[in-house]
Amino acid sequence: MSDPAIEKADALVAAASFAGGTNGDLGTAMLMFFERINERIPHMMPIVIGAWQRGRFRPWHPMHSAPTDGTVVELCARYTFATAGFPRYGHFLDGAWRESTRDGRELVAWAWRERDPEWPFEGEAL
C-alpha cells in the first residue's frame, strides 16, 4: 500500500519543478517552494526532501536545449490543431517534434525533460 504523504510530496516536488523549469528559473522556484513548505507545513519537510532525493525531481527545460537527434523525451506539448496540451513522449524528426506513437503526429512543444528512468520496459515484471 502506498503512503499518501509520500505521494503528495512527490506531486509537490513535480509541480514546483515544472513551474521553475518552464520559466527558466528553476533554482529560485525550488528555493521558494522549500521555504513555503517549511513555513506552512514544516512536518512535511523530511518527506518532501525524500521525494527530491528519490529522483522524483526531473526538471523541465526550454525547447531550445532539447535533443534533436531522434532521442525520445517527455514533452509538454499539444497537437497542432489543439488549444491545450499535456506531457507526452516525443522526438524530433524531419524538422518537427512528433509524438512517439505509431501515428507520429506533429506536436507544438514548449518544454521537455528526460524520460522517467523508473518507467518499466515491456515484459518487465512489476
Lookup result for grid cell 507520429: 104
Residues 6+ apart with CB under 8 A from 1: none
Q: Specify if 122 maps to a domain.
A: no
Q: Specify if 118 maps to a domain.
A: no
Same domain for 47 and 76, yes or no, is no
Same domain for 9 and 47, yes or no, is yes
User: Out of 6-10, 35-39, 46-50, 57-61, which region has the weakest mean confidence (pLDDT)?
Assistant: 6-10
- How high is the pLDDT of residue 64? 92
Give me the residues paired with residue 91 across strands.
98
Rg (CA), the chain: 16
Q: Which domain holds residue 89?
A: 63-113
The model's pTM is 0.57
- How high is the pLDDT of residue 22? 47
Largest distance between two CA atoms of the chain: 50
